[in-house]
């Protein structure tokens, strides 16, 4: 039995090695996909994570508001701050043109006299608040018009982040002025009271918060294009073996080998097992190659190095389970299909669909709620979630065993379907 | 089952799923040990269906089959061990070499190691394929493919060899080599069951023939018996045409 199985594996390996197109689909295509998709998505990930959103700032105010916002934007990791364009100080017009030309995603202009306008408003507010008149009418004497130029391609989430920051800076300045004005007014009403120090406001910031990525890593791993794309496209490549695998099953049917094998004292399952072993081995090689792209080749292009987590055992378990699920799916497609074209087209389309749903193309967290629910049905998503657990959260076997179990059950399901269809086809 | 009988078929019927009438209608046959038995008939007569059932490719709808003392339904696995099948179409992996194909099929028959290697070497030598053994099968001529197709079925020294049109599309030289070796196999004790459209070949090669049409055996006996049985017939082809008429078949 073992000798028969080994002979079947050997035959399958030879067939695969002599199918150059199949080899290209299995190894070269996914490696190219990882390079291309990572490079494309890297700028999008970087916009938020590393470089920040390119912002041009025009400070016509030159007073507290302008200075506070400038300091805030300069210190923010959200922005790539600039107050000059092509070596010249930015103005209202040049900033507008620069955003229109796509040199910056956002332009912020603080108009002249903005701080004065806030001061007047606050003063009026304080005076009316402390007035003993029965009728109080708070009128805004002058409004502050901050202009924000926006590149139409800017994502709404980016824009919301910038405007929220601006509101926060304006609020700080407004509160600071209000605090100072109230202090001055109180000092006038109660002359004996010791005047508050000028920097008293700074001591009032008693609530602070830290942003930390929830990860068990010793060093924090920031989600980036590499951490997403390498596992995502590796899983895609592993499932893409459905095309050569289904093709191989179809060829054996068409070329009469299956006919001959059915007349021999060997079960068809043995032949299929030979295929499964071979293609699982192929999947493992794919995994090693794809990971090496993330570890060695992508960093050569200036991209971050892939971090593979802490548990190689967990990594092996989820990779093996993914390989089983992928080969089971290949056997099922090859058994259902009537022609090689059906197998290739049906297999490719179904994998594209399952990968899109499963979060390979774009992470599931940016999907609408319905699609996120649907993604839980894709075996590619089960696998990807486990890789995220390992690569981003530094988890171990305890975090992947459930998904690995689901993938193994998927393998058993596909094999059962294939077996039922095969038996049905033979009952002619 | 008589002592000298290796295959006994009784009331064999096969109706394919969705078919309006049976492809094989209650065939009964006895094939003697060490015979070269020709199953002859026009296209769609039921030859390949009968052979396929005997090879265990698919089950009969009804009827009893006994092969070498074993019941087809209960002992299929053991029966497969003693039969060899040469399919009508070439059933080889085109991108593998002849040796690789034979190595794989030999293993599937349970052969391995030196025994398998020696058998492959011997048959490649006998069929003049030693030089080409390391070439991929898709570079072979039709005749060479037919010869490898045959070797794949006889590596395990089967007691019974089924051949479905083994000489279709081959040149005279290859056909003669194939027929000569089949005779040698038969001399060594292998029972051969064979279908063909070549009446001349069947007349000289077979020790007994059965003519099948519309799923029924309409005549059987030695070629000489059949020729003598019908007036005005001088060869097996004329007997065949007289029995199956000249109407074209699908």
The chain B residue lying nearest A16, using CA atoms, is B95
Shortest distance, CA B225 to any CA of chain A (angstroms): 33
Whether residue A261 lies inside any domain: the answer is yes
Domains of chain B, start order: 5-89+159-244 (3.40.50.300)
As a 3-state breakdown, chain B gives helix, strand, coil percent values, each rounded to 5, of 40, 25, 35
Is A185 in the same domain as A270?
A: no
Is A105 in the same domain as A152?
A: yes
A156-189 helix and A64-75 helix, angle to the nearest 10 degrees = 140
Dihedral sign for Cα atoms in the order B231, B237, B242, B244: positive
Note whether B58 contacts A257, CB cutoff 8 Å.
Answer: no
* Residue that finishes a domain, picked among A143, A170, A204: A204
Instruction: Work out how many domains chain A is built from and give that number.
Output: 2
ipTM score here?
Answer: 0.83
Is A8 in the same domain as A56?
A: no
How many helices, marked H, and strands, marked E, lie in chain A?
A: 17, 6
The per-residue pLDDT for A198 is 55
Angle at B132 between CA B127 and CA B136, to 5 degrees: 120
Note whether B17 contacts A8, CB cutoff 8 Å.
Answer: no
First and final CA of chain A: distance in angstroms?
Answer: 29
Stretches where chain B sits below pLDDT 50 are: none
* Residue A137 structural domain: 51-204
Of B59, B91, B108, the CB nearest to A4: B108
B165-193: b (≥16 Cβ within 10 Å) or e: bbbeebeeebbebbbebbeebbeeebbbb
Is A232 in the same domain as A199?
A: no
Of B17, B56, B93, the CB nearest to A257: B93
The chain A residue lying nearest B76, using CA atoms, is A265
Is A276 in the same domain as A351?
A: yes
Check if A167 contacts B (Cβ < 8 Å): no
Is A187 in the same domain as A231?
A: no
User: Is the CB of residue A22 less than 8 Å from the CB of residue A347?
Assistant: no
Is A189 in the same domain as A314?
A: no
* Binned average pLDDT, 10 residues per bin, chain A of 428 residues: 90 89 83 83 60 82 84 79 87 88 84 84 77 57 76 72 80 81 75 58 58 53 73 89 87 83 83 91 92 87 82 92 95 88 87 88 77 87 89 83 94 93 77
The per-residue pLDDT for A50 is 54
Check if A423 contacts B (Cβ < 8 Å): no
| Side-chain half-sphere exposure of A45, counting CA atoms within 13 A | 18
Of B77, B87, B153, the CB nearest to A265: B77
Is A237 in the same domain as A172?
A: no
The per-residue pLDDT for A106 is 84
Interface-testing mutation among B51, B93, B106, with chain A (most A C-beta atoms within 10 A): B93
Of A255, A259, A260, the CB nearest to B94: A255
> What residues of chain B lie within 8 A of the CB of A11, using their CB?
93, 96, 100, 104
Query: Edge-to-edge, what's the strand order for the sheet holding B83-86?
Result: B83-86, B160-164, B191-196, B36-40, B208-213, B216-221
| A to B CB pairs, distance under 8 Å | 80
Is A36 in the same domain as A105?
A: no
Is A261 in the same domain as A379?
A: yes
Note whether B108 contacts A10, CB cutoff 8 Å.
Answer: no
Note whether B80 contacts A426, CB cutoff 8 Å.
Answer: no
The per-residue pLDDT for B250 is 56
The per-residue pLDDT for A218 is 44
Question: How far, in whole angstroms, is CA A8 from its chain's centroid?
Answer: 41
Q: Which pTM does this prediction carry?
A: 0.73
Interface-testing mutation among B72, B89, B99, B107, with chain A (most A C-beta atoms within 10 A): B107
């Amino acid at each position: 039995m073992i000798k028969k199985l080994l002979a079947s594996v050997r035959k399958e390996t030879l067939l695969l090695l002599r199918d150059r197109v199949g080899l290209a689909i299995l190894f070269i295509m996914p490696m190219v996909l990882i390079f291309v998709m990572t490079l494309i998505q890297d700028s999008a990930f970087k916009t938020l994570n590393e470089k920040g959103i390119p912002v041009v700032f025009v400070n016509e105010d030159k007073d507290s508001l302008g200075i506070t916002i400038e300091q805030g934007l300069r210190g923010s990791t959200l922005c790539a701050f600039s107050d000059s364009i092509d070596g010249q100080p930015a103005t209202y017009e040049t900033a507008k043109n620069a955003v229109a030309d796509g040199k910056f995603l956002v332009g912020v202009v603080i108009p002249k006299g903005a701080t004065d306008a806030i001061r007047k408003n606050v003063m009026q507010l304080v005076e009316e608040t402390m007035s003993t008149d029965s009728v109080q009418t708070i009128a805004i004497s002058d409004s502050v018009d901050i202009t924000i130029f926006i590149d139409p391609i800017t994502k709404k989430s980016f824009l919301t982040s910038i405007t929220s920051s601006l509101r926060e800076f304006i609020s700080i300045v407004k509160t600071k002025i209000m605090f100072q004005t109230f202090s001055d007014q109180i000092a006038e009403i109660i002359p004996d009271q010791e005047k508050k120090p000028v920097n008293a406001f700074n001591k009032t910031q008693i609530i602070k918060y830290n942003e930390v990525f929830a990860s068990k890593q010793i060093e924090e791993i920031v989600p980036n294009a590499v951490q997403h794309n390498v596992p995502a496209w590796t899983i895609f490549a592993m499932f893409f073996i459905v095309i050569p695998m289904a093709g191989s099953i179809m060829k054996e049917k068409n070329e009469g080998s299956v006919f001959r094998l059915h007349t021999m004292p060997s079960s068809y399952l043995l032949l299929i097992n030979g295929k499964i072993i071979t293609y699982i081995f192929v999947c493992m090689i794919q995994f090693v190659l794809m990971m090496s792209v993330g570890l060695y080749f992508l960093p050569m292009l200036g991209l971050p190095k892939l971090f593979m987590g802490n548990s190689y055992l967990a990594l092996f378990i989820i990779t093996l389970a993914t390989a089983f699920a992928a080969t089971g799916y290949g056997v099922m497609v090859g058994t259902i299909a009537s022609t090689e074209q059906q197998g290739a087209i049906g297999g490719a389309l179904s994998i594209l669909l399952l990968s899109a749903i499963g979060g390979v193309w774009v992470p599931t967290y940016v999907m609408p709620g319905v699609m996120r629910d649907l993604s839980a049905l894709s075996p590619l998503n089960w696998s990807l979630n486990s890789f995220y657990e390992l690569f981003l959260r530094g988890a171990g076997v305890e975090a992947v065993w459930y998904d690995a179990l689901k993938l193994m059950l998927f393998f058993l399901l596909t094999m059962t379907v294939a077996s039922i269809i095969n038996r049905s086809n033979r009952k002619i | 089952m008589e002592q000298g009988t290796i295959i006994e078929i009784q009331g064999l019927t096969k109706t394919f799923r969705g078919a309006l009438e049976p492809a094989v209608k209650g065939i009964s046959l006895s094939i003697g040990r060490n015979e070269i038995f020709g199953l002859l008939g026009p296209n769609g007569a039921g030859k390949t269906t009968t052979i396929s059932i005997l090879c265990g490719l698919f089950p009969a709808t009804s009827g009893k089959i006994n092969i070498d003392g074993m019941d087809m339904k209960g002992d299929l696995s053991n029966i497969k061990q003693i039969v060899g099948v040469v399919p009508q179409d070439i059933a080889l992996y085109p991108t593998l070499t002849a040796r690789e194909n034979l190595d794989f099929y030999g293993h599937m028959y349970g052969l391995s190691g030196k025994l398998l290697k020696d058998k492959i070497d011997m048959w490649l030598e006998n069929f003049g394929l030693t030089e080409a053994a390391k070439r991929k099968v898709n570079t072979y001529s039709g005749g060479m493919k037919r010869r490898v197709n045959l070797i794949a079925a006889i590596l395990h020294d089967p007691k019974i060899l089924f051949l479905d049109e083994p000489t279709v599309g081959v040149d005279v030289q290859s056909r003669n080599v194939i027929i000569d070796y089949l005779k040698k196999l038969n001399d060594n004790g292998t029972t051969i069951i064979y279908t063909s459209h070549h009446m001349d070949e069947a007349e000289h090669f077979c020790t007994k023939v059965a003519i099948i049409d519309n799923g029924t055996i309409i005549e059987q006996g030695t070629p000489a018996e059949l020729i003598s049985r019908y007036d005005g017939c001088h060869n097996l082809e004329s007997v065949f045409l007289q029995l199956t008429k000249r109407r074209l078949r699908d």
